[in-house]
Amino acid sequence: MNEYTRGNFKAGFKTLLSTKLRSFWTMLGIIIGVASVITVIGIGSGIKQQVSHQIQHLGRDVIVIRPGELHGSTGLDALSGLNVSGALSSKDVNVVKNVDGVSSVAPISISVAKITRDKIPYNNNLLIGTNGDLPGLLNQSIAYGSFFTYEDEGSKAAVLGDKVAKRIFDEELPLGRTFYYNGQEFIVRGILNEMNTTPLTEQADFNDAIFIQDQVAQELSKNTAPIYQILARPEDPKQYKAVAEKIQNSLYKSHGYQNNFKVITGGKDYDSNGTVLSLLTQMIAGVASISLLVGGVGIMNVMYVSVAERLHEIGIRRAIGATNKQIVSQFVTEASIISLVGGVLGVILAFFINILLRIFSDLKPVMSIELIVLAIFISIIIGIIFGSFPAIKAARKNPIDALRS
């Protein structure tokens, strides 16, 4: 840095300090521009992340086996969303488990049951029979305690959905507490985190469900708890289609060459999710460009005004012998300092807005490093261009014309 530039930097900061108010207004434009760009883009990518998270939740690599439409009472299906045709059984679970390349399998059987806790009856509880693979298949985390495993087979362990714990037990953490179902005592072994997705249908709220061993559920309901679906995951996601085909063949064989079941592979079903995501991506890009434009125009405006205001000063400086280059360089330095400081303050403001949004709304804006760097970078570029452009213009005038303004 040569003597002149160093002087410029000092002068730049001096300018900032000595004209606090105007610098503040100038900067405010940049701060708001940068903060709003970051916030808007952050909200957009936050929403996208949430949506794609929900889609991921059911895992794109999970194969779903459902009873065939043939055996379903379709009218009821449409209403309840639950297919209760009962074409799938625990036997099918074992068949799928033994298919080559399947790493985990979990049935989901559903019954609506009455339970009692401390002699108080609770009706209409969604009771889901499954096994220890379910959390892994749903990418579902456990808040407290643990899910049951294959070693617990036959035991009366229960895991509660997020809402059940609060609804039936008068505490948040009823670990180790008991309830009765069909005269059997169950011990609460774990509590799930809130599920963002409804793996089955809108109607079956997994957050309000009690999970028990499928085997136990079948026994206690005397095999009236239909298996609504079986989830399976291939060892190698790349073998997804091949494994699905193998499952199809094995079940076809074990069902006596009857096609009374459906193996649903992600492909078709999840396509719409991909479209949603790409639409979201496009929307975010659109909103981001508009907000960048608005922020940029704001910065531009503010820089332009501050230079126009200083035309007289440019005249003085030129009259006493500043070259055009020196004047432009002074303005570029000042503009970069103002837009850098404004950009950083804008990021800080965006950070606070982010926190407030997370506290007071369901939005979870994402502030990525790339976004922050980009916003600061753009604010500096725009600041420099529009800070120096009028200075360049002024530098072309006769000194006396600049002085007259």
Partner 1 sequence: MALIELQDVSKLYGFGDATTLALDEVNLTIEKGEFVAVMGPSGCGKSTLMNIIGLLDRPSHGKYRLQAKSVETLRPNQSAKLRRDTIGFIFQSYNLVPRLNVLDNVALPLMYKGVNVTNRIKQASAMLERVGIQEREYFMPNQLSGGQLQCAAIARALINNPKLIVADEPTGNLDSESSRLVMELLADIHKNGNTVIFVTHNPELTRYATRVVYMHDGSIIHDEKTVIGRVASTAKKVAEKSLTSDEEHLLAGVSTMMKTFPTKDSESKTKSRKKPLKGKKKS
Residue 319 near partner 1 by CB under 8 A: yes
**Which of 52, 273, 324, 405 is close enough to bind partner 1 by CB under 8 A?**
324
DSSP string, 199-239: SS-SSS-GGGEEEEEHHHHHHHTTT-S-EEEEEEEESSGGG
CB-nearer residue toward partner 1: 238 or 404: 404
CB contact set of 146 (below 8 Å; sequence gap of 6+): 189, 190
Q: Toward partner 1, which CB reaches closer, 21 or 369?
A: 21
Query: Closer to partner 1 at the Cβ: 164 or 311?
Result: 311
Taking CB under 8 A as the rule, does residue 398 contact partner 1?
yes
Closest CB 286 distance from partner 1, rounded Å = 42
**Residue 333 CB, nearest approach to partner 1 (Å):** 13
Tell me the CA distances in angstroms from 225 to 86, 202, 229, 320, 392, one per residue in order.
Answer: 8, 19, 12, 94, 80
Contacting range for partner 1; rule: CB under 8 A; set: 86-94, 110-118, 313-321, 334-342:
313-321
Q: Which of residues 11-30 bind partner 1 (CB under 8 A)?
A: 14-15, 18-19
Does position 305 bind partner 1 by CB under 8 A? no
Judged by CB under 8 A, how many residues of this single chain contact partner 1? 27
Q: Which amino acid is at 204?
A: A
Number of neighbours of residue 1 by Cβ within 10 angstroms: 8
Distances from the Cα of 25 to the Cα of 32, 52, 142, angstroms: 11, 40, 50
By CB under 8 A, tell whether 387 contacts partner 1: no
Closest CB to partner 1 among 126 and 394?
394
Q: Does 308 bind partner 1 (CB under 8 A)?
A: no
Q: Using the rule CB under 8 A, is 317 a contact of partner 1? A: yes
Q: Where are the strands (E) in 248-373, listed by range?
A: 261-264
In this structure, the dihedral spanned by the alpha carbons of residues 353, 355, 358 and 359, taken in order and rounded to 10 degrees, is: -110
State yes or no: residue 4 binds partner 1 (CB under 8 A): yes
8 A C-beta contact, residue 113 and residue 127: yes
Establish if 199 lies at the interface with partner 1 (CB under 8 A): no
Nearer to partner 1, 345 or 403 (CB): 403
Question: With binding defined as CB under 8 A, does residue 326 bind partner 1?
Answer: yes
Q: Least distance in Å: CB of 48 to partner 1? A: 47
C-alpha–C-alpha distance, residues 392 and 390, integer Å: 5
Closest separation in Å from C-beta 317 to partner 1: 7
Instruction: Answer yes or no: are the C-beta atoms of 270 and 60 closer than 8 Å.
Output: yes
CB 45 within 8 A of CB 368: yes
Residues that bind partner 1 (CB under 8 A): 2-4, 6-7, 10, 14-15, 18-19, 313, 315-326, 398-400, 403
